[in-house]
């Protein structure tokens, strides 16, 4: 197989991405040499640990602003007592929370601090995932070159310590970059190699993600048989990890492939699975997509009455969710059903 990996030296990558070589004005090493009041240290650690857990609960509830405040205070306390490992964890949490809020600038600042601490502590495993996080933040801002450099740096470190999960994650991210740029042959290469490493790690959700992305790349490259196999594997991993997002990605991929082939019995099978995954949940967007896909299925198979009914349900939900572009699309579809009676007529 042709070479698919370019390595970037740590020094060059650090310079290009602006990673600081120190994460505070006074080093932790210097602070640790100061006299320590053990009782005060323990008290501050207890408070910091409580703030860390509080932030986790707040983030689970979607209150990312409060979580960031709790974690920031926790990091300050960990700095006071010289606990760099816990600071690293705190900055990682802060970065993810800012990313959820779409504040990529502050997310980058936090992950760079996390990475600087990991480098000072020679925590190579943590560096791998911090580089990948930084790459993803850059990728989300369409900074493709620096995103690629970050992923390659992560891959370089992962290979150096034989970290299978890190290798699989980094290769998968590089595959996503290649796919986004339309280089599906390279994306397939990345994803296939990533899959062989993913299976060696316990991260089943990661396996599902790579398998589904491989399915997408196969579809884009016209390899529909292989796409079906990749999506089925992604669906199995999604079920094993109870990851509904992965299951829906796989199901939608399978619906698309079988629709392209006109295999309506298979389409119906996976639509039933989509219904089970979305209709009795709080996932309003998932329900909207299910209604739309059902409408398209009934329209394609000639049942215009049921197609109209599902388009109406999708349209009503699109209006409720203020999805204006989709609302307009569904309204235009309904205009073609004006001659179709309602289901109960």
Q: How far apart are the C-alpha atoms of 63 and 54, rounded to whole Å?
A: 11
Question: Nearest 5 degrees, angle CA 127-CA 130-CA 135?
Answer: 125
How large is the average pLDDT for residues 144-159? Answer: 97
334 token code pair: 């309904």
Task: Report the distance separating Cα 152 and Cα 142, nearest Å.
Answer: 17
Q: How many residues does the chain have?
A: 345
316: left (phi over 0), alpha (psi -120 to 50) or beta: alpha
Digit-coded pLDDT (tens) for 256-314: 999 999 999 999 999 999 999 998 888 999 999 999 999 999 999 999 999 999 999 99
pLDDT in tens, 78-115: 999 999 999 999 999 999 999 999 999 999 999 999 99
- For every residue of 127-192, DSSP letters joined together read HHHHHHHHHHHHHHTT-HHHHHHHHHHHHHHHHHTT-HHHHHHHHHHHHHHHHHTT-HHHHHHHHH
Q: Which residue has the tokens 């299951």?
A: 247
Instruction: Please say if the pLDDT value at position 23 is more than 50.
Output: no
Angle between helices 124-140 and 104-120 (to 10 degrees): 160
Closest CA to 9 of 151, 174, 153: 153
Decide: residue 202, CB within 10 A, 0-12 exposed, 13-18 middle, 19+ buried: exposed
């Amino acid at each position: 197989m042709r070479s698919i990996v370019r390595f970037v030296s740590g020094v060059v990558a650090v310079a290009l991405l602006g990673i600081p070589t120190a994460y505070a004005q006074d080093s932790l090493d210097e602070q640790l040499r100061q006299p320590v009041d053990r009782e005060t240290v323990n008290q501050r650690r207890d408070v910091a640990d409580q703030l860390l857990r509080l932030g986790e609960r707040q983030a689970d509830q979607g209150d990312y602003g409060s979580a960031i405040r709790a974690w920031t205070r926790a990091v300050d306390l960990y700095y006071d007592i010289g606990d760099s490992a816990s600071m690293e964890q705190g900055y990682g949490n802060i970065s993810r929370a800012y990313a959820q809020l779409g504040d990529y600038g502050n997310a980058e600042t936090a992950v760079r601090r996390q990475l600087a601490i990991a480098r000072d502590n020679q925590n190579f495993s943590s560096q791998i995932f911090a580089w990948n996080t930084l790459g993803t933040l850059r990728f989300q801002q369409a900074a493709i070159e620096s995103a690629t450099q970050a992923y390659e740096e992560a891959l370089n470190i992962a290979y150096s310590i034989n970290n299978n999960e890190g290798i699989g994650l980094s290769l998968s991210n590089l595959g996503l970059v290649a796919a986004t740029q339309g280089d599906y042959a390279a994306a397939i290469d990345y994803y296939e190699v990533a899959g062989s490493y993913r299976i060696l790690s316990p991260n089943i959700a990661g396996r599902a993600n790579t398998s589904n992305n491989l399915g997408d790349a196969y579809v884009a490259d016209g390899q529909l048989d292989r796409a079906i196999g990749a999506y089925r594997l992604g669906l199995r991993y999604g079920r094993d990890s109870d990851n509904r997002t992965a299951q829906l990605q796989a199901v939608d991929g399978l619906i698309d492939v079988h629709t392209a082939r006109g295999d309506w019995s298979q389409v119906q099978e996976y639509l039933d699975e989509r219904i089970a995954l979305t209709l009795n949940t709080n996932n309003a967007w998932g329900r909207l997509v299910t209604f739309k896909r059902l409408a398209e299925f009934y329209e394609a198979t000639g049942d215009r009455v049921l197609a109209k009914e599902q388009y109406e349900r999708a349209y009503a939900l699109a209006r409720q969710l203020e999805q204006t572009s989709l609302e307009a699309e569904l309204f235009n579809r309904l205009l073609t059903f004006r001659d179709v009676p309602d289901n109960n007529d």
